[in-house]
Structure 1
Amino acid sequence: MEKNSSCCCGAVPAMWWWLLTLLGLTLLFFLMTWTRQEAVETDLTTRSTAALKAAGMDWATVNLDKRGRDVQLTGMATSVQERDAALKIVDGVYGVRDVQSRLQTSPTLQEQTAVLAPIAAVASAPVAEQKPVVTAEPSIPEQKPAVIAEPVPSPEQQAVLNCQQQLNDAMTGKTVLFETNKSAIKRDSLALLDSLAVIISDCKTVIAGRGIQVSGHTDNVGNDVYNQTLSKQRADAVKDYLVKKGVDGTLLKSAGFGESQPIASNATEAERSQNRRITFEINPE
């Protein structure tokens, strides 16, 4: 009696079964990875939004759609300072890898008034009837005040301004991070310092004779003397790292100011994080 073979197993070679299995595993891995990324994006969106709301910046919108751990911020800030503060807050959220700014700044009420007031005054002023005036005395032309032009910076001064702007742009929305109550630089901040080292080295000729002051600042938590010492140690650590990266040490001077020069109130953690900072300023002549 003739034996019947399976209609499927016998017809499909073993190689195709292996290929189908591999395809299924690949699809399963993709689904698991996509689900994991979606969960991370949801978590970072929630925590970043909460941090902004706690600082009174609910005008900023957090977007991580298909971005992994890279956050995009959109919204209208009332000032450049408020825009930079929002970027720093989100950059400090644990798990965020990079913050991309799509933030805009709107003119303040004072600026709008300064622009619109002259227009409103002209529009509302009555038109006086013009009558001919006969006089025997010669008329004297109206003397208009001379317009004093803004002084034009010299080529050397402009070069210094350009280098300082490069440093400012590199630091916008970013800060050098340290271990808590220590001067050890966190690994996440090394790429930022590497980019600053390149800028300083490229501007070496411009900076020579002036130098750059690396300044450390803290919040108001803790003892004044301790904060002063810690800020100086952190500035020294940044200077030492830049020198290791090839920056001429004679161009750098470190200083610590502790809590004496805050740029924000210390009422909330978000504001205190703004005051914990390192700044880079090219010294004047």
Structure 2
Amino acid sequence: MDVMPKKSILRPDVSPLRDAAPSLQPVTITVRFPEQGKEPDEAGLAAIDELVANPTFKAGGAVTIWGHTDSRGSDKANLAASKKRAEAVRDYLKSKGVDTDRLTVIPLGESRPIAPNRKLDGSDDPEGRARNRRVEIRVQPPVMEAQGGPDATATREPEPLPE
């Protein structure tokens, strides 16, 4: 039994709506860095490569790159290290052909830890510090212009840091 799609009985030129393509959603990844590391390791590069293949990334939206460190060292040194990490990711994306107008680098130093750097007894927490040495990358879907087309160069504020 063949089922024919419904058509309008009032207007024969109106046919059923096609399923709309799913809308693009923001994508966030975290790239870990080794202690004293200023370049992503192989796993980090693989994660960035996977991000570049994501449909949201391919659509051409804004990319925000936040650099982070653990709490070892001075605030000034940690801010500089987080900037170098974020810039290393930016430079890798540029080497992949990503337009620099899409990329925003924000160094945060040790100000936004996601894990404790010390245990409750005050001793060092190497696992926590390792989790804090990272770069977070968020890709936003492109801003749509009034005519309905993507505009990757539209002026936007960088996205707030993910919680």
Superposition deviation, residue 159 in structure 1:
4.0
Q: In structure 2, list runs of 5 or more residues that go unmatched.
A: 1-19, 119-124, 141-157
Pairing partner for 2:58 from 186, 198, 202: 202
- Cα distance in 1 between the residues matched to 2:31 and 2:40: 11
Distance in 2 between residues matched to 1:198 and 1:242, nearest whole Å: 12
Length-normalised TM-score, structure 2: 0.61
Quick one: structure 1 residues 183 and 255, their matched pair in 2 at CA, closer, same or farther if it must change by over 3 Å?
same
Question: Contact 1:176–1:192 at 8 Å: present in 2 too?
Answer: no
Q: CA offset at residue 187 of structure 1?
A: 2.8
Q: Residue 75 of structure 2 contacts residue 110 of structure 2 at CA under 8 Å; is this kept in 1? A: yes
Q: Relative to total residues, which structure has the larger helix share, 1 or 2?
A: 1
Equivalent residue number for residue 121 of structure 2: none
Matched, 1:175 2:31: yes
Partner of 1:280: 137
Paired amino acid for 2:32: V
Q: Please identify the structure whose Cα radius of gyration is greater.
A: 1
Contact 2:86 2:135 in 1 (8 A): yes
The aligned residue for residue 45 of structure 2 is 190
Shift of 1:189: 2.2
Tell me, in whole angstroms, the C-alpha distance in 2 between the residues paired with 1:224 and 1:262: 13
1:193-228: CA deviation from partner (whole Å, max 9, x where unpaired)? 111122254121xx2xxx221010011011110000
Contact 1:201 1:247 in 2 (8 A): no
Amino acid corresponding to residue 226 of structure 1 in structure 2: A
The verdict on how the C-alpha distance between 1:185 and 1:212 changes in structure 2, with shifts beyond 3 A counting, is: same
What pairs up with 1:1-285 in 2 under 5 angstroms?
Answer: 159=23, 162=25, 164=26, 167-168=27-28, 171=29, 175-178=31-34, 180-199=35-54, 201-204=57-60, 207=61, 211-267=62-118, 268-281=125-138, 282=140, 283-284=158-159
Structure 1 residue 265, shift from structure 2 partner: 1.4
CA contact (8 A) 2:70 2:129 kept: yes
CA contact (8 A) 2:70 2:132 kept: yes
1:175 offset after TM fit, Å? 3.0
| TM-score normalised according to structure 1 size | 0.36
**How many positions carry a matched residue from both structures?**
114
> What SS does the corresponding residue of 1:259 show, helix, strand or coil?
coil
1:194 maps to amino acid? D
